[in-house]
Structure 1
Amino acid sequence: MLLFPAERLVLAIIAVLVCADVALISLGNAAFDWGGYAPLVAIGTALIAIGSIYRKSGRSHPIGLAMIAAGLYILFTLAGSVLNYALLPVGELKLDEKLARFDALIGYSWPDFVGFLAQYPTASLILKVIYISSLVQLMAVLILLGFGGRTQQLHEFLLVGIAGALLAIGFWSVAPTMGPSILYELPAETQARVGLVVTTEYGDKLKELALYGPRVITPDETLGLIAFPSFHTVMALMSIVYAWPLRGLRLLFLTVNTLMVPAILAHGGHHLVDLFAGVLVFCIALYVVRRSRSFWALDAARRRSPAAALRNNP
């Protein structure tokens, strides 16, 4: 398989995560939905294989670049999601109350913000669509960078996302939080008018998972577990930063992801401090990836000639 150094690194990280997943699942009590994950793994693997064929044939470097990156993105997302669930149960969630008190000190209240948004259901619907667009945005940026032949930017994008996700999961595994939805019971009418993604019922499911863990780890029932730090904030910043070179689209991504801030707070069921932590995680991930550029990046000559790069990295 013809892979660039950054792609090999991502594949190695995925392999380590899969080993961790298998170990944790074998030690835990949850069943694993092999049949549910198999088609998704097959899609990711097929994309990598097809991209490798395009690359090896020399027919299209951009197509091969985009397809391999998309396949790696899917496989990492699956492995990371399974790891997050395999770490359950985490016990009683005590940190959320402290974060809510910190929010209060700076004048923010999740129930009050949701109540305010209930007065503007159309605006809330727009924010809901924006909130659920995060993964689609990342895939769009990935495809645009890939088909644009922006090898280094695409690889940095992948590695920053992976580093950010691992930092978020790592912190959460030590100090788990699941957001204010586990603390407050909002009026049913308010939830309906806002069309909340993370409802009081959603919060009850999160508390149950924290205390008892999942019965089955399956892609059909995947909830967002990590509140602090907010990974949606990391994804929003990734979309802005890596779409910025795309001049015709930079304003669109900037506008959408500026609106992502209230969307994350309301529909993501987040403490305000979660977003600050998400910004910090993104900055750390970006710093680490750029500081380690010599380890994964191609030099200028090999960037100009992908074929030469592959000959030197068989």
Structure 2
Amino acid sequence: MLAAAAFVPLLICTTVLMHLASATGRPLADPMLASIDERIGFDWLWFLSVTNNKLIAPVLIVAYHALGPQVPFVILLNMARNRTDKMLEFIALLAVSSVFSEVMLVFLPAGGAYAYLKPAAEQFNHFTAHAGMWHYETLMALRSGEPFDLIMTKSKGMVTFPSYHTALGIMIIYALRDCRWLMWPISGLNALMIIATLPEGGHHLIDVIAGAMVGVASIVAVRMIGAYERKRADRPEKIGGGTVTLR
């Protein structure tokens, strides 16, 4: 229970830091991000047109918005299994990935593909009305320097580059690696979710690539920290004339 309680201050801290990181006067990076997409051969408006139909769009909407409940689910699952180690590992992943993402947000703020490319309403009429734009008004208010009241229960994700949805989807799959019966269906759902970050989340493709890198880098960092701590705990230490093993 105490391990799960660590999630609450983490959520508060990351939300506050996310809003502080967004309050920057640096120019929006969308022209550069869209240019990178173009250089690697990705046409965001074309992809939007392909996915904006009455069969594909509802599936992507469900997959995209199904990510949020997965975070408390992973925590509750590990509580039920009495796996404090896995719970702490997951919370560490959230903390490390949040730091990576918010540092990148400071240097590369972005409004998103919808704000930059400005598709007409009929071009995304099968997606939600505010697809990829629910954060934009808050982002502009923070960037303007005008007074802003942060209400935790109404806060929205502000990180466009990198795609934190992508990072989180990968980390959740990793966190479920020892529950194979659950990992595989969640992997399929989160694969769809990552696709949905483009038309429903309003991300550039390079945001998604960067998000995947954040997810993988966070896993590597947490594994390295865990390996170091285990090695340190098992290290023999001399006391007086004898030797004890620290565990």
TM-score (norm 2): 0.83
* Aligned mates of 2:196, 2:30 — CA distance in 1: 19
Call closer, same or farther: CA 1:116–1:211 in 2, change over 3 Å.
farther
* Aligned mates of 1:200, 1:245 — CA distance in 2: 36
State whether residues 124 and 195 of structure 1, in contact with CA within 8 Å, keep that contact through their aligned partners in structure 2: no
Matched, 1:230 2:163: yes
Deviation at 1:178, TM superposition (A): 3.0
**Alignment correspondent of 1:15:** none
State whether residues 170 and 216 of structure 2, in contact with CA within 8 Å, keep that contact through their aligned partners in structure 1: no
Matched, 1:246 2:179: yes
Deviation at 1:181, TM superposition (A): 2.2
Runs of at least 4 residues of structure 1 off by over 3 A? Answer: 199-209, 211-214, 294-300
Deviates more, 1:268-277 or 1:84-93: 84-93
Matched, 1:156 2:78: no
Q: How many residue pairs end up in the alignment?
A: 235
* Aligned mates of 2:117, 2:182 — CA distance in 1: 39
Deviates more, 1:216-225 or 1:203-212: 203-212
Query: What secondary structure sits across from 1:91 in the alignment?
Result: coil
* Aligned mates of 1:197, 1:71 — CA distance in 2: 33
CA RMSD between the two structures = 2.6
* Aligned mates of 2:26, 2:115 — CA distance in 1: 11
**Alignment correspondent of 1:140:** 73
- Gap regions ≥5 residues in structure 2: 235-247
- Gap regions ≥5 residues in structure 1: 1-50, 52-67, 301-314
**Alignment correspondent of 1:276:** 209
* Aligned mates of 2:218, 2:160 — CA distance in 1: 18
Deviation at 1:196, TM superposition (A): 5.0
Give the residue type in structure 1 aligned to 2:61.
K
Deviation at 1:209, TM superposition (A): 3.5
Matched, 1:180 2:113: yes
**Alignment correspondent of 1:116:** 50
* Aligned mates of 1:186, 1:204 — CA distance in 2: 17
**Alignment correspondent of 1:41:** none
State whether residues 112 and 132 of structure 2, in contact with CA within 8 Å, keep that contact through their aligned partners in structure 1: no
From 226, 230, 233, give the equivalent of 1:293: 226
Give the residue type in structure 1 aligned to 2:155.
T
Give the residue type in structure 1 aligned to 2:213.
L
Deviation at 1:208, TM superposition (A): 4.3
Give the residue type in structure 1 aligned to 2:178.
P
State whether residues 117 and 124 of structure 1, in contact with CA within 8 Å, keep that contact through their aligned partners in structure 2: yes
Higher helix share: 1
Call closer, same or farther: CA 1:131–1:137 in 2, change over 3 Å.
same
State whether residues 145 and 154 of structure 1, in contact with CA within 8 Å, keep that contact through their aligned partners in structure 2: yes
